[in-house]
Amino acid sequence: MKEKVIIGMSGGVDSAVAAYLLQKKGYEVEGLFMRNWDSMLNNDTLGNPNLDNEICPQEVDYNDALKTCEILGIKLHRIDFVKEYWDNVFSYFLKELKLGRTPNPDLLCNKYIKFDVFKKEAERLGAKYMATGHYARIKDGKLFRAIDLNKDQTYFLAQVKKEQLVDVLFPIGELTKPEVRQIAIDIGLNVARKKDSTGICFIGERNFQKFIQNYLKPNPGDIINVETNEVIGKHNGLMNYTIGQRRNIGISGYEERHYVCGKNVSRNILYVAFGEDSKFLVSNLCYLEEVNFISDDRPTSCTAKFRYRSEDVPVTLEYLENNEIKVNYPDGFKAVTPGQFCVFYQGDECLGSGIIKKVMKDDEELWYLK
């Protein structure tokens, strides 16, 4: 008797090829499409006139997933996780923005939706395993980077608990993206050349600032030169900016390059620095909260990523009370940002992660980040 697998079908090429590979290995495969966002909550164009009179992108993805499943000859389930997504992911996203931080909801989507309620639904449907199209690998209960380091998605899985990865399959973790594309072309999948989705899933291609105004009222304030304390412009709400940002800051008449280096939420100030020198972005110490370890190891030294696309940085870890960690990176690193996730690695193994709570330099909190 074949073992049953429920795979998350997103309407993209990665999950489509993953489903095909599971079939080749002899599993009984069924797909499940998750509806995590109610498109009626933001069904106007929200800054993208190209969306006028077009089918909702979520429905496009569902129709693509349905066609893929027809080609592969497998059943596709569709389930609504809108409430769970709102309660556990989007509400967190709004709360963090109000605090002036830069949240990454994708990690919590994996923790609370894909590897929690989705997995429970797979079990309800009688599956032994659940699978996704993530670029990652699991070996002996441990999480490892994908073969294709350019597409590796372990960063986004670093808040998932170890027990949530039991009976989980990542069929494309041993492949490169070009190999996945070629398989899709060779077997004639409808999504073989479909463009990869980017950005935050509930926003899609829409304008972020116009979208977020549906949920958080604009709160304009001063933009201040961090070195001279001079008011140089007005911002339209701290939630619209992140540390290190160089574009669309909203000040005019300045030819010299500039970047966002800090926020003061209590005074509603956005701090900007000028020049190529990024000294105001460099820190060498941060504190993490809500730490999650996938690995049983608790190293005192390892490497860390402070953003998805950032390089691996050598760090030392000091374990504190209340599930917090002090992270030292003596050589310094730019734009370590409160609200983002710091993800730990030992070689190719992803150990876990924590949320960046406080950023410091030489044991002193950066005043323009308070």
Catalytic residues: 109, 201
Tell which residue, 73, 72, 78, has the closest CA to residue 58.
78
Q: Residue 364 carries which side chain, given as an amino acid letter? A: E
CA distances from 163 to 142, 146, 292 (A): 10, 20, 12
Instruction: Confirm if 176 and 147 have CB atoms less than 8 A apart.
Output: yes
Instruction: Confirm if 263 and 328 have CB atoms less than 8 A apart.
Output: no
Q: CA-CA distance, 318 to 299, in Å (whole number)?
A: 9
Q: CA-CA distance, 213 to 191, in Å (whole number)?
A: 34
Say how many Å lie between the first and final Cα of the chain, rounded: 59
Instruction: Confirm if 81 and 117 have CB atoms less than 8 A apart.
Output: yes
Q: Residue 197 carries which side chain, given as an amino acid letter? A: S
Per DSSP, 196 falls in state P
Q: What DSSP letter does each residue of 11-55 carry, written as one string?
A: SSHHHHHHHHHHHHTT-EEEEEEEE-S-GGGG-S-TT-GGGTT--
